Amino acid sequence: MSRARELPPPPLQNSGQLQNSGAHRSTLGRSPVITIALNTATEAMRQPIHAILLLLGIGLQGLNPLVAAFTLGDDDQLLLELGLSTIFLLGMFLASFTAALALGDEIRRQTVLTVLSKPISRTSLLLGKFLGIALALGSAWWVWSFALLLSVRHQVIMTVRDGADAPVITFACAGLGLAMGLSFWSNWRHGSSFPSRISRHLVWIAPLATVCVFSFNKEWQLQSPLSDLDGNVLGALVLLYEAMLILGAVALAASTRLGTMATLAVTSAVFVVGMVGGAIAGGASWRFLLPNLQYLWVSDGLIRGADLTWGAGIASSVWALSYTIALVALAAALFRTRDVS
């Protein structure tokens, strides 16, 4: 009887091949749009500008209680105005740079041809880029929002008799220090990107620190975490993110034809027009064509003591969604006719 021929053992795979094969298996069954969106968000959060603006927003929120003390009016209302304005302004810069890096630089370097050589349309590519930009903006907005909640909870120190809010300072500094420490460790031990790690760590550390703060009052007595939450502030933050998405869509459309600085200039111009254009247009019939961001900016009403109703919030959100879809469609039309060869 002949002995069965033994097959040779399979060749060993190195770690890079295993990692690539695992990444390939993880993308099986996933929509190309989702894949592009996740890759775009990951690359956006790896950029140093993302971490710089993220930490700058946290630092400004920490300084706002000191800056808002120099007023003759209601200091706490001014604190809320400064906090929302900080998020809005930094969100505009972040949207411009993220869109320019996500699409504009790829067009200029012609690396976009690698993606377009695969069976994917330009519209799907652009939609994936926008979703990735929305995720990158959402991560920054998420962290800035919790920093604003902590700033509003701390309130303004009007006189020397007003003490600092010890839970806010304790948990905020501890959370930021933990995020920085974990990011430095990942960068040193595993060679991970520090900007990406600081963004990811702050996404879960910021809400954890906020819950810890809101579980205590200024005297370190336990209380319900919901006792210090203001629904008007939460609604204003949601509408503010929708305004950031509009600016992100504007930046994406501009990046299909313009460079980074030109994209920033166009987005800044739309930001200014959006804040004052409604007042300039008045009752003109073409006012609905303007990106009237005042629909989403409710800080002025909150300062006057008004409440944000569900009806007003839903109507503003529907308008923001419709305007964002129109801008993304415009960006798709511009990108479809763009020569990238």
> Chain-centre distance of CA 148, in angstroms?
14
Handedness of CA 330, 332, 336, 341 (dihedral sign): positive
What token pair was written down for 147?
Answer: 């920093």
d(CA 293, CA 84): 13
pLDDT of residue 160: 58
CA distance 163 to 148: 19
The C-alpha angle with vertex 143 and arms to 157 and 298, in degrees rounded to 5, equals 70
* pLDDT tens sequence across 316-335: 999 999 999 999 999 999 88
Q: How confident is the model at residue 116 (pLDDT cuts 50, 70, 90)?
A: confident
Rg (CA), the chain: 24
Give the pLDDT confidence of 228-276 residue by residue, as tens digits: 888 889 999 999 999 999 999 999 999 888 888 898 999 999 998 888 8
pTM of the predicted protein model: 0.86
Instruction: Answer whether 205's CB lies under 8 Å from 179's CB.
Output: yes
Give the whole-angstrom CA distance, residue 155 versus residue 66.
Answer: 9
Q: Is the pLDDT reported for residue 10 higher than 70?
A: no
pLDDT above 50 for 15:
no
Residue 336, token pair as written in the block: 């479809």
Lowest mean pLDDT among 33-47, 131-145, 150-164: 150-164
Cα torsion 28, 30, 31, 37: sign: negative
* Cα–Cα nearest to 87, from 314, 255, 303, 299: 299
- Are 140 and 53 in contact by the 8 Å Cβ rule? The answer is yes
pLDDT at position 19 is 37
The closest alpha carbon to 222, from 212, 232, 230, belongs to 212
Distances (CA, A) of 17 to 21, 28, 30, 224: 6, 17, 21, 51
Q: With 0-12 CB in 10 A as exposed, 13-18 as middle and 19+ as buried, what is 91? A: buried
- The pLDDT tens digits of the residues spanning 19-70 come to 344 444 444 456 888 988 999 999 999 989 999 999 999 999 988 888 877 6
Beta bridge partners of 222: 216
Would you say residue 141 has pLDDT above 60? Answer: yes
Confidence at residue 193, expressed as pLDDT on a 0 to 100 scale = 85
Q: Give the separation between CA 33 and CA 137, rounded to whole angstroms.
A: 18
Does residue 99 register a pLDDT over 60?
A: yes
Angle between the 48-67 and 32-46 helix axes, to the nearest 10 degrees? 60
Angle, CA 242 vertex, CA 215 and CA 253 arms, to 5°: 145
- Confirm if 210 and 150 have CB atoms less than 8 A apart: yes
